[in-house]
Structures are given as C-alpha cells and as structure tokens.
Chain A
Amino acid sequence: MSTPDDLPRMDRRKALQWMLSATATMTVRDPSLFAADPGPIKAQGYGPDPVMVKIYKPGEVWPLTLAVPQRRTTRALCDVIMPADETSPSASTLGVPDFIDEWISSPYPAQAGDRRLVLEGLQWIDQESKTRFGKAFADLTLEQQTAICSDLAAAKPQPAHKKAATFFKRFRDLTAGGYYTTPDGMKAIGYVGNMPSGTFEGPPIEALKHVGLA
C-alpha cells in the first residue's frame, strides 16, 4: 500500500496541467505561501450514483494535492502518531498519509476547514522544527519529533501553540481513524467481524465473565 513520498501521484497529463497552473499563480504569489497552499480544489466529487462495490484508492476520484515536502511532513507526523510496534505496523505502511492527502484534497465542503487547518499546521510544524532543531520535521530524530508533538498534545498548550494544537488534535483523529479503518488497523484494535459465518453463537463465556454475566 505504501508508496515513496517523492513519486508524483498524478498522470503526466494532469501533472502538466498542474505545473501550468502553478506557474501561472506563482508570479503573483509569495513562493513560501505557495508551499503551504497548493491552490483551491477544482475537482469534482464522485456524484450521487457511484459504483459502491468498487475498491477505491486515494487519488483515484480526485487528485491528491500535497506537494512533496508536505507529503514528507505528513508521513513523518502520521508515524509519530501511529508508530509500528510488535503487533501492528506504522501509519505510513498502511497508506494513511495518502488518505490524509485525499481528505484534504476533497472537493466536498465538509473537508475545506480541515484543508486549511492541515496545510497551515504542516507549515507551522516544519517552521517550528527548523527554529528549534534546524531541520524539517521529517529529518528530525524521533525524540525531537516527539518533543514538538508533546507540546501540541499538552493538556494546556502554550498560548502561542493554540492553533497548532487544534491542528494536531484533528490530525491525530484523521490519522487514527485512517489507520483503524484498514484491515491491519482493524486487527490491531480488536475488530474481528466482517466474516460471514453459518451461525451466531453470541458472546463467548470469557466475554460474559469479563462483565460479571457468567
């Protein structure tokens, strides 16, 4: 499921279109702002009658829009939030960064707020990394990454971190939700359903004992 960050997510024709529109906007924009905002979403949704049985991948219905540096940061942040452990893989192994990109690239109105929040948050976290440790977030050690995230995850974040903390909580929800909705994620959290069976036996005796019902 995982793909390297540095591969473009679009076909050649689309890539050309994007490059052209990017060149057009770059002349009137501060290049550092452009890094945070790849432009408005012009894609269409899947419409009211999509094929439901089909298996979709992020980027298939509308293009992903994160630039390479943003993807690197996303991937690194996803893996700080959901690292690999002895029982389950990391978020990036399960394609969660692609899902985040799909989410913030969505043409639907409900994701527009998250798009702003995530793009600004990614920019903030890279800036913070450079200020504190002299490198982009993705190039920091896990300890350094964790230090920044811990500031944002604090019960009472510093006033200067307030907006970034809002971003972090939302990014955490998207990462965790993106993770646990995959087959490996479901296994990791303890969901073992979606398995057709001839009978339904009800809860096992251990489960009943667990809550004092047996």
Chain B
Amino acid sequence: MPTITAEKLQASYDVVIVGSGAGGGQTAYTLTMEGLKVLILEAGRSFDVPSEVAMLQLPSQAPLRGEKTPDKQYGFHDCSINSGWEIPGEPYTNASKEPADQFRWWRQRMMGGRTNHWGRIALRNGPYDFKPRTRFGLGFDWPIGYEDIAPYYDKVEMLIGVFGTNEGLENSPNSSPGVLQPAPKLRVGELYAQKHGKKVGAHVASIHRAVLTKPQDADTLPVKLHPGNAKAQSILADSMRTRSPCFWATDCHRGCAIRANYDSQTVHLRPALATGNLDILPNAMAREVTLDKQGKATGITFINKTNGSEGHAKGRAVVLAASSQESVRLLLNSKSNAFPQGLANSSGKVGKYVTDSVSSSLSAYIPAFEGMPIHNEDGAGGPHAYVPWTRHAQNGKGELGFPGGYHLEFTSGRQMPSLTVLNGIESKLGHEGVLFGAKLKQEARRYYGSSLGFGAQGTMLPNDGSFCELDPELKDQWGIPVLRFHWKWTEFELNQVRHQQQHIRELLEAMGGKVAAKAEADVSKLIKRGGEVIHEVGGAIMGADRETSVTNQWSQTWDVKNLFMADGAPFASTADKNPTLTIMALAWRMADHLMDEMKKGNI
C-alpha cells in the first residue's frame, strides 16, 4: 500500500486523522470519496496484507507450534505485529496492585490497526443499547437512538460486506432488505445446539460477520452508497471487484490475502487512496493535538519513529481514531493554558467511564459427537452461529440482577488442531491415568472435534471506578507521558458472569455435554480481566450535556469545534455487541457531519 515519508507531507490538509483502523479507515474513506484532502498518521509500520498474512501455514511450520509468546501474544500466525498487551518501550501503569482491579491494554501498532486480527463479528447495537438509563435507570443514555444510526449500519454493511440473516429479534435489529450477504450453512455443533438449546431457552441464530460469501454487487451497491458521485461509484466498484468471496478455509484472525473479509486496508484505505486525496504516514506516533490562539485544533505533533525526530501535520480539522484509550491519552497530553487538564476536558470527563465486554467461558465434551464422520467444517474462518440475548422481559423487570445482557459465541468444532488439542482428554473421556501408545491414537480419533464451548460477551455499564489518567511520572520511549488505569467490576458484572456460567452450563448439558469444570462460586475468578476482550470503549463519551460528556452526538468535542473522535472513545456505554461495526457507523455519521459543518463554514 503506497505510503509517504515525513518529508512528503503536504503543507496542510483538510483533515488529519490519527489511526488507520476501523474508525480512522472509515473516516478517511468517507471524506476522500467526497473530495477532501486527508492525512492519516499511523503509529505502526506499513503492512502488506496480500503478501504478509499467513493463511494456510500449519502450526508445525511456526516456532513452538505457533503457540503464544510475549512477542506474538495471540499466537504466531495471528495477524498482529508489534502488538500486544505489553509492548517494549510503550508501558502503561495501573493504580492497583490487585490483578482484578487492573486493566490490560492491547495496542495494535500496524497499518489497519486492530481490524487485522478481528474475529469479524459485526453485530448491530439495538435500540435498548443506546438508552440504558431510560431502561434500567443506570449508566448513561446516548444522545442518539438506534434510528439515528440505523442508516449508517446499512451503509457500512453494504460497504464492508456482512453475512447473516434477519431474525426479527428484540434488540438485535434486522438490516434493511438486500444489505446482508447470504449466511453460510451452520456446522453440526451449531445445528445441534440450535435443536437442543431450545430446551433451556437458548435461541441459536446465524451470526453476522464481515466476510463475503459471494462477490459484492459492484453494479448496484456503489450507486446506493455514493448517489450522484460518479467518481466515488467507479472507485468503489473497482475495489469491490478485486475482492474474492471466502474460500472456506483458515481462521479470519490470520488476515485475508484474497480480501474476502474486512480489514481497514482492504476495504477503506485502498479505495480512499485511489481517490488521490489520501496520504498515509506510517511510523508516526502522535504526541499532541496543537491549538491556535482561538482554541481551534491546528494539527498533530508526532514523533517520526524511523529517526526519532518530531514533526507536525497541519489540518483544518483533526480526527482522533487511535483506539479509544490512545485517543484519550492524546487529549490528556495536549495541555495548554486554555486546557490545563487536557484538551476538550472542561467537563473533567476525559478518561472517565472506560468499559470492556463482560466475558467468561465454559466448554464441555459432547459424547454425541464422538466418532463423527470425518468432514471439513472450516467454513468462514470463525463462527457461523451465535446465541443472541433474548431475556429482555426478565431483566427489564430487574429479575436477573444485572442490566443489559450478553450473547454467546461458539468456541470450537473440528478446527485445525493446535498444540493443546489433546490436553485433558482423559478427564473428558472418563479415563483414569494418562493415555499413551496405540490406545491414545485410537482415543484421539474418537475424541477430536467432540468439544464445544461458549464465550459470553455482555454489557458493562460505565462506573466511577473504571477510568484512566496520566501517570504522574512514567513516560514511554519517546518521552510521552503514559496512561495509568483504574478498574472496578461492580456487582452487576459479577451477577452477569454468574448468570453466564449457569446458562452456558445448562445449554451444554442440554446437548448432553459433560462439563469438566466444577461450578466456581467465586465468579471474580471466571470473569476475563478488564481489557482482555479488547473491546474497551469510552473515555471521551458523547452526551447531550457538555457538563457531563466530552463530545456531542456527532463525536465532535464540545470544547474544540474542529476536533472529532472516531474510535470507541465516544461510546456512552457498551452493548453486548462487539463494538467494531458501531465504531464504523459512528465514524461515517461523524464524517458526514464534519463535511456539513465545513460547508456551512463552521469549521
């Protein structure tokens, strides 16, 4: 992908964007298609998806059979480089020494950001998810409702390509007719759960994921997405025609050389570059948003990581899409006389109300699957089905002890064997001692593919104990002050995890599954730690009142009119749904507003 060096920066851009992931990519796409001159600053290196991703390599072809290491924290073949919860030279701190009260911060330092190793699960937030205060008397209502963002969900889904079905479920909205790609057939385990889950009130439905199951309709979609803009239509049609549909092999986390699944480079940055309106500067670590005397943002000061020098990129407007907490850090590090507590922080709310998905998992051995006729169920490189949250009536009445809800994602099947493929085989098959020899090989064939599990992901409402601030002392390798996190689960999350565990257990048992793990009374041991789901959002929340929020409904900061947020930072609360699709829909909506404001001369 063509990028520029710091020497080639233009004197000024219409918009400077920090970050090239889902939010930055979508913003750049929307703006450049409409003719704005845009610069993206990316902290990571340039990354060539078609030639660098390992799609078909086997674990035996990687060091340590591809298992996780501190260098590759999601495994060797995961499409993450220079990324992780711990990155040399880029520390962060936690106020508490207690692991349960700590936040783990994943950074993805590469072109395209986290979209490279995303599971591609693309669920819409529903109407309730935007109004937790109205519904539960808790958290914050967003200043927008589902109806405000629905048209943007349609647009993003048409652009990136999302498969799924419309199930007409409460709070898991349908897409408009003709928007979704066909859902792939369900696998045996998913169908089996669909049949037997009914006994315990679990509705198994096709999941929505950003993977093409057929070629995109390049003749009609570009016209729908860019009415009246012939150039944009033509560029998008060309881009869509270079994408192949899924070839039904390999895990999407490895990245996709044939462009079947969505990542920011494949879908957003390539057409944006084709407009001739986009420059991308890699290896540029943003340090500060600069201001003029009137308090307007003028651009970004950055460190050129290739030589350690400092540079400045100038723009009429600035969009932060560096990932929610990195954008927060930028605001906090942009101090001035006008903003001694950090930029756009007159409310004191920058860094506040950080949330992640509430998650726990459980798996079982399903004897009914033993000796299954051998077949290939790789499919679309990730789940085809999920269990959406349907118990709205119960928790609407406060019967469950937690607001919101959670959905369940399938976690196994006849997947490519990993190093741990037989760990625990004895307990699951009911053997005593350790199997080896001919008996082991025989039992392995019977056992393989018979495990099934679910990971739950649920709503976390913002609380006062989960936030970040600048560490008073520590700086990173470029001398930039780092973040210090505070983390607290409340009873709501712990109650939710209790419910998750009980529900998954009864679902697995309804399938005849043998759950090896005993019920754990202390659910704080089962909940994934803050940041481990890598769904953290918030920290610059949107609201209707500038006293209690950082941005307005357009992700435009209250204090600085030409400064916008385009990652998860403006989320006023999390839904149980994975945030990426909503980040893109909000970014597109924000970009439309930004252009309106520019046309009106307000920026």
Give the nearest-CB partner of B73 in chain A: A48
A153 and B249: CB pair below 8 A?
A: no
Contacts A99-B65, A200-B380; is A181 near B423 (CB within 8 Å)? no
Judge if B81 is at the interface, Cβ distance under 8 Å: yes
How far is it, in angstroms, between the C-alpha of A53 and the C-alpha of B422 when the chains are bound? 26
**Chain A hits for B444, CB < 8 A:** 176, 180, 188-189
* Residues in A whose Cβ lies below 8 Å from that of B70: 45, 108-109
Set B51, B88, B249, B422: member contacting A180, Cβ < 8 A: B422
Q: Decide if B63 touches A102 in the complex (CB within 8 Å).
A: yes
* Bound-state Cα–Cα, A211 to B246, Å: 28
CB-based nearest B residue for A88: B441
| Closest chain A residue to B418, Cβ basis | A181
Q: Which residues of A contact B457 (CB under 8 A)?
A: none
**Chain A at the B interface: SS class:** loop
Report how far A131 CA is from B418 CA in the complex, Å. 37
B137 at the A interface (CB under 8 A) = no
Write out the residue numbers on chain B whose beta carbons fall within 8 Å of the beta carbon of A80: 436-437
Quick check: A173 and B422 within 8 Å, CB to CB? yes
Of the 9-residue stretches A68-76, A120-128, A190-198, which lies at the interface with chain B? A190-198
Interface contact B414-A190, CB-CB below 8 Å: yes
The reply on A208 being an interface residue by CB < 8 A is: yes
Chain B positions within 8 Å of A173 at CB level: 420, 422-423
**Are B438 and A83 interface neighbours, CB within 8 A?**
yes
What 0/1 pattern do residues 141 to 170 of A give for CB contact below 8 A with B? 000001001001111000000000100110
Interface contact A53-B419, CB-CB below 8 Å? no
- Judge whether A186 and B432 touch: CB under 8 Å: no
Would you call B249 and A197 a contact (CB within 8 A)? yes
Q: Is the CB of A182 within 8 A of B60?
A: yes
Scan residues 244-262 of chain B and give those whose CB is less than 8 A from a CB of chain A: 246-250
| B395-427 interface with A by 8 A CB criterion | 414-423
User: Is B64 a contact of A196 with CB atoms below 8 Å?
Assistant: no
Most buried by B among A47, A61, A103, A191: A191
Q: Across the two chains, which residue of chain A brings its CB closest to B414?
A: A191
Contact of A189 among B45, B58, B369, B445 (CB under 8 A): B445
Question: C-beta contact mask, B191-216 vs A, less than 8 Å → 1, else 0?
Answer: 11001000000000000000000000
Number of A-B contacts (CB under 8 A): 226
Least CB distance, A1 to chain B, in whole angstroms: 9
A153 smallest CB distance to B (angstroms): 4
Partner of B188, one of A83, A165, A213: A213
CB neighbours of B82 from chain A (8 A): 48-49
Count of chain A residues near B, Cβ 8 A: 74
* Residue among A46, A82, A198, A200 making CB contact with B63, cutoff 8 Å: A46
B585 at the interface (CB under 8 A from A): no
* Shortest Cβ distance from residue A205 to the other chain B in the assembled complex, whole angstroms: 9
With contact pairs A48-B81, A88-B441, A202-B186 given, residues A103 and B64 touching in the complex (Cβ less than 8 Å) = yes
Chain B positions within 8 Å of A, measured between CB atoms, are 45, 51-54, 56-72, 76-77, 79, 81-84, 87-88, 184-188, 191-192, 195, 246-250, 368-369, 371-380, 414-423, 432-438, 440-441, 444-445, 448-449
Known: A95-B60, A192-B376, A207-B375. 17 other contacts (CB 8 A): A49-B82, A52-B54, A52-B81, A53-B52, A81-B440, A82-B441, A102-B64, A153-B436, A176-B440, A181-B419, A189-B445, A190-B445, A202-B185, A204-B373, A207-B188, A211-B188, A213-B195
A binding-site residues for B, Cβ under 8 Å: 45-53, 55-56, 58, 60-61, 80-83, 85, 88, 95, 99, 102-103, 106, 108-111, 146, 149, 152-155, 165, 168-169, 172-174, 176-178, 180-183, 185-186, 188-204, 206-208, 210-213
Which A-B residue pairs are the 9 nearest by beta carbons? Answer: A202-B185, A155-B432, A177-B419, A193-B378, A196-B247, A181-B59, A153-B434, A52-B54, A155-B433
